[in-house]
Structure 1
């Protein structure tokens, strides 16, 4: 497998696979071309035999240069359970840490139990929300009316690639 910075020409290949990778959910609007075009330095793709195995789209906050944000991550269903997500996140952590970031944040949907478990295993902490459902702090209307989210934050100050918990 090869990991590299994402490039403009990767957009259509990624975009074409999004809905399929998400089991038919309409995800294409969540990843417009601008994210790939403007955040190449901190976004990565993993390929094997010229097939996309996974990608992470993230950036350093222009408002807080010590904070990075992971906007989108995807793993080819054929490659799930092979630690592709972990590899992408750790590559992102290292890249933004080298650029001076001390913290990474991201969000997920409260119904995405797999994502919540993954982020918790990666050492992210859920931030307090407006309400709690089944022990999960929820930020109501975070991404618009009816678009509730779980907000995660992770400190990179003591992070190294050996901190992934099984």
Structure 2
């Protein structure tokens, strides 16, 4: 079921994603990321969003649409191993909607979902080269966790996602009400 978003996104709807949304979301990634990383970047992004994310984590994720067109998504989940934590796995916003606050709205909805399920910490990661993502997470109240390496002054977790796949690791402590 699609529900409307508050202003300024009244023309958009938001709903939980399902398995049928997997391929349509994958089709957007290369366009939205501007072909970042070429073929290898495309492969890595696809591997980060397997169908199981849409099959098993739809209840904690969000998909924003304008008619039949997907304009944003957030795939996140409540940790099964760490009962106080939740995790934002992958987020995308159509470049035409960036800067509108839509990404922040999705994060706030995920924070509320996390709080409603007794979570007090939200985690996320990004690549060290993604300065825009680092800036966004910082604005959203995340802190970058210390790491043994640095990239442009940001602490890095080496080999976080495998050999040579360094990441910045973020943590946000949720207050009970906001």
Quick one: which of 109, 112, 122 aligns to 1:91?
109
Aligned length, in residue pairs: 160
- Deviation per CA, 1:16-51, whole angstroms, max 9, x where unpaired? 111111111312222110111110110101112221
2:122 alignment counterpart: 104
Q: C-alpha root-mean-square deviation of aligned residues, in Å?
A: 1.2
1:11 alignment counterpart: 22
Distance 1:31 1:4 in 2: 18
Quick one: which of 142, 148, 152 aligns to 1:124?
142
TM-score where L is the length of structure 2:
0.86
Moved over 6 A (4+): none
Tell me, which stretches of 5 or more residues in structure 2 are unaligned?
1-11, 37-41
1:147 match: secondary structure? coil
2:89 alignment counterpart: 71
Matched, 1:80 2:98: yes
Tell me, which stretches of 5 or more residues in structure 1 are unaligned?
161-166
1:117 match: secondary structure? helix
CA-CA distance at 1:159 after TM superposition: 5.4
TM-score where L is the length of structure 1:
0.92
Quick one: which of 75, 80, 90 aligns to 1:57?
75
Quick one: which of 62, 69, 72 aligns to 1:44?
62
